[in-house]
Amino acid sequence: MSIAQNPATALLACGGLAVFALLVTTLVRRPGIGIGLLMAGQFSLVLGDAGPPPLPVGGLNLTVPDVLAAAATLAVPVQLVVHPRARPSLQRRALWLLCAIALGSLLVGMAEHGLQAAANDARTSFVYVLGPALYVVTANPRRDLTGVVVRIWTAAAVGYVLVAVVWWSQYGVGSSSSAVVIDGQVVGGRGIPAVAAFIVAQAAVMLLVVRATRLRVLLVAGPLLLSVLLLQHRSVWAAVVAMAGGWLLLRPGGGLRKAIAGGAIAVAGTAAVITMAGQPAGGLGADLAESASNASTWEWRVTGWLQLVDRLEGVGDWLLGLPFGSGYERLMGDVVTEVHPHSFYVLMLLRVGLLGLALLSVTVLASLRGCGRTSSTGLLLWLLVAGETAYWITYEPTMPDGLLLGLLVRYSSRIPGGPSLPVPKTREARPGAVTPVAATPPTTVE
């Protein structure tokens, strides 16, 4: 029965459109609330079956993050009209071109593989990332969103840790395997997924960099980092090492201290690699059939990456990638798998090609150059990029990563970035030593 023949359905459709329009208006007028809603949408994914059920619309099962990402994307043109800007910077142009290539790949994928297949392929790592990124970039330029982001990330991290604590109370700390058998049932091997653990780690770094002078902040950041350790996501551990190493190397300080920090980072990184390679659950020397049963093993991922990249043929595929919906089928031993490649760099190469990867690199590098490292926000963004760079090796980004990408591009335009970082104190002159006197300009006598 059509909508015109069913007044109740038509009324519900009109009500839904009105609520969606109100949501877009809220996102435009209140960017802080908008970022909080987008993070709440990501939190609903972690709840799984406990979250709200999907809504079937036009052949697609729309979830809460789908609606929020669509609202954020539609808010972008409205914000461009309401808050006109001067000539866009290099990083903003690169981001817009990347979005254009992704949109072209999505349209071609819809034509070749159908709406559902292309949309499902693009939704998590592209629609959820690029839409929120543009939303933050085009938000009211007079708003300083740093404090809002820190508070939202902290609240989300505390919520994720509480979910993990509930899981630990039922099953124990867990294991490094992606799934374990408890009482005859297969359950997740960790309290929360890697994306949630990564948010917890990012929140701890935000607190330590921006608000480390307060004791209560340290009392929150410490348990967050401990939770990241207990969650046993090795990719998140690598991201934490990258962010901690960046903080030791990039903060103001002498060359000797940075050299010592660099040595410590190298030792920690080597130990992490040895630990990952020596894990009994599918190490580098494991049999391929055994490692294929555990999707988290390094050998399984690398073998899959090589097979997926072999699907690229010709200059066009390498430059622009294959359209969304093309699938990720590959043969792992005797098992055919279709899961995502578990690497954002490989995923970018497959869907937007080398050109898309180059545009993403230009966006990030040009933004880092514009942010600088003398302010608390500038240094924080450098550290977050270091963590993302390590995390994206084995995982794809989600909505929070898109928000941080937008924050990076936004603050690279010299928007105030918080208080300056403390500069190391110089040693006072000894008694009796000659103190240099600043030269004064000569005076002229008329």
Report which of 104, 122, 119 is spatially closest to residue 59, judged by C-alpha positions. 119
Sign (positive or negative) of CA dihedral 44, 298, 292, 334: positive
Q: Could you give the CA distance from residue 207 to residue 243 in angstroms, rounded to a whole number?
A: 13
Q: Could you give the CA distance from residue 94 to residue 343 in angstroms, rounded to a whole number?
A: 22
Residues forming beta bridges with residue 61, ordered by sequence position: 56
Amino acid making up residue 227: S
- For 78, list phi and psi in degrees, rounded to 5: -65, -40
Q: What is the model's pLDDT at position 277?
A: 45
Q: What is the model's pLDDT at position 349?
A: 95
Provide the pLDDT confidence category of residue 420 given band limits of 50, 70 and 90: very low
Predicted confidence (pLDDT) per residue in 47-77, tens digit: 765 556 666 666 667 788 899 999 999 999 9
Q: What is the model's pLDDT at position 445?
A: 39
Predicted confidence (pLDDT) per residue in 21-49, tens digit: 999 999 999 999 999 999 998 888 777 65
Q: Could you give the CA distance from residue 175 to residue 195 in angstroms, rounded to a whole number?
A: 17
Predicted confidence (pLDDT) per residue in 242-274, tens digit: 998 888 888 766 555 556 555 555 555 555 444
Q: Could you give the CA distance from residue 16 to residue 12 in angstroms, rounded to a whole number?
A: 6
Counting other chains too, the contacts that 5-12 makes at CB distance below 8 Å and 24 or more residues apart are none
Mean pLDDT of the 78-87 span:
84
Q: Which residue has the tokens 């230009």?
A: 362
The dihedral region occupied by 388, where left means phi > 0, alpha psi between -120 and 50, and beta the remainder, is alpha
Amino acid making up residue 51: G
Q: Could you give the CA distance from residue 145 to residue 124 in angstroms, rounded to a whole number?
A: 24
Q: What is the model's pLDDT at position 221?
A: 85
SS (H, E, C) the chain: CCCCCCHHHHHHHHHHHHHHHHHHHHHHHCHHHHHHHHHHHHHHHHHHHHCCCCEEECCEEECHHHHHHHHHHHHHHHHHHHCCCCCCCHHHHHHHHHHHHHHHHHHHHHHHHCHHHHHHHHHHHHHHHHHHHHHHHCCCCCCCCHHHHHHHHHHHHHHHHHHHHHHHHHHCCCCCCCEEEECCEEEECCCCCHHHHHHHHHHHHHHHHHCCCCHHHHHHHHHHHHHHHHHCCHHHHHHHHHHHHHHHHHCCCCHHHHHHHHHHHHHHHHHHHHHHHCCCCCCCCCCHHHHHCCCCCHHHHHHHHHHHHCCCCHHHHHHHCCCCCCCCCEEECCEEECCCCCCHHHHHHHHCHHHHHHHHHHHHHHHHHHHCCCEHHHHHHHHHHHHHHHHCCCCCCCHHHHHHHHHHHHHCCCCCCCCECCCCCCCCCCCCCCCCCCCCCCCCCC
- Window from 139-143, 286-290, 400-404 with minimum mean pLDDT: 286-290
When mean pLDDT is compared over 8-12, 90-94, 179-183, 412-416, the highest value belongs to 90-94
DSSP state of 49: G
> What are the residue boundaries of the structural domains of the chain, listed by start?
11-411
Arithmetic mean of pLDDT over the chain: 79
Indicate the pTM of the whole model: 0.81
Predicted confidence (pLDDT) per residue in 102-118, tens digit: 999 999 999 999 988 99
Q: What is the model's pLDDT at position 182?
A: 55
Mean pLDDT of the 205-233 span:
82
pLDDT of 290 over the 60 cut: no
pLDDT of 151 over the 80 cut: yes
Burial of 59 (0-12, 13-18, 19+ CB in 10 A): exposed
Residue of higher predicted confidence among 374 and 165: 165
Residue of higher predicted confidence among 206 and 182: 206
Provide the pLDDT confidence category of residue 175 given band limits of 50, 70 and 90: low
Q: Could you give the CA distance from residue 93 to residue 355 in angstroms, rounded to a whole number?
A: 14
Assign 364 to helix, strand or coil. helix
* 171 Cβ neighbours under 8 A, 6+ residues apart: 180, 182, 187
* 5 Cβ neighbours under 8 A, 6+ residues apart: none
Residue of higher predicted confidence among 404 and 419: 404
Strand 330-332, strand 179-182: pairing: unpaired
